[in-house]
Structure 1
Amino acid sequence: MKQLLSEIRDCSVCKSHLLLGPRPIIEASPNSKIILISQAPGRIVHESGKAWADQSGKKLREWLGVDEATFYNTENFAILPMGFCYPGKAKTGDLPPRKECAPLWHDRVLEKMRNVQLTLFIGSYATAYYLPHENRNLTSKVENYEEYLPNVWPLPHPSPVNRFWRAKNPWFEGNVVPLLQQKVAEILL
Structure 2
Amino acid sequence: MALTKDIQACRICADRFAATHTGHTPRPVAWFKPSARLLIAGQAPGMRVHQSGKPFDDPSGDRLRDWLGLSPDEFYDQSRVAIVPMAFCFPGYDAKGSDLPPPKICGKTWHEKVMMTLNKVRLSVIVGGYSQKYHMGVKTPVTDTVADWRSHAPDLFPLPHPSWRNTGWLKKHPWFEAELLPVLRKRVQEVMRDG
Give yes or no for TM over 0.5: yes
Alignment partner, residue 99 of structure 1: 104
Offset at residue 51 of structure 1 (A): 0.8
- Pick aligned residue for 1:163 from 155, 163, 167: 167
Q: In structure 1, how many angstroms separate the alpha carbons of the residues matched to 2:99 and 2:140? A: 23
Scaled by the length of structure 1, the TM-score of the pair is 0.94
Change (3 A) 1:92 1:175: farther
Coordinate RMSD, CA, aligned: 1.3
Q: Which amino acid aligns with 2:9?
A: D
* Structure 2 partner of 1:121: 126
Structure 1: which 5+ residue stretches go unaligned? none
Amino-acid identity (%): 37
CA distance in 2, matches of 1:137, 1:114: 28
Report the alpha carbon displacement of residue 68 of structure 1 after superposing the two structures with TM. 0.5
Verify: 1:59 aligned to 2:63, yes or no: yes
Q: With structure 2 as the length reference, what TM-score do the two structures score?
A: 0.91
How do residues 164-183 of structure 1 correspond to structure 2 at under 5 angstroms?
164-183=168-187
Change (3 A) 1:149 1:174: closer
Instruction: Please name the residue that 1:17 is paired with.
Output: 16
Taking the aligned partners of 1:124 and 1:155, their CA distance within structure 2 comes to 9
Cα separation, partners in 2 of 1:15 and 1:155, compared to 1, 3 Å: same
Give the corresponding residue for 1:77: 81
Match of 1:5 in 2: 4
Contact 2:133–2:139, Cα closer than 8 Å, also in 1: no
Q: Distance in 2 between matches of 1:25 and 1:177?
A: 27
Shift of 1:93: 3.9
Matches of 1:179 and 1:143, distance apart in 2: 14
Give the C-alpha shift of residue 106 in structure 1.
Answer: 1.2
How big is the shift at 1:30?
0.7
Contact 1:93 1:161 in 2 (8 A): no
| Structure 2 unmatched runs, 5+ | 18-22
User: C-alpha displacement at 1:143, in angstroms?
Assistant: 1.1
- Which consecutive segments of 4 or more residues in structure 1 shift more than 3 A? 90-93
The SS at the match of 2:117 is coil
Deviation at 1:33, TM superposition (A): 0.6
Post-superposition shift, 1:149?
Answer: 2.6
2:84, 2:75 → 1: CA distance? 13
Q: How many residues align?
A: 187
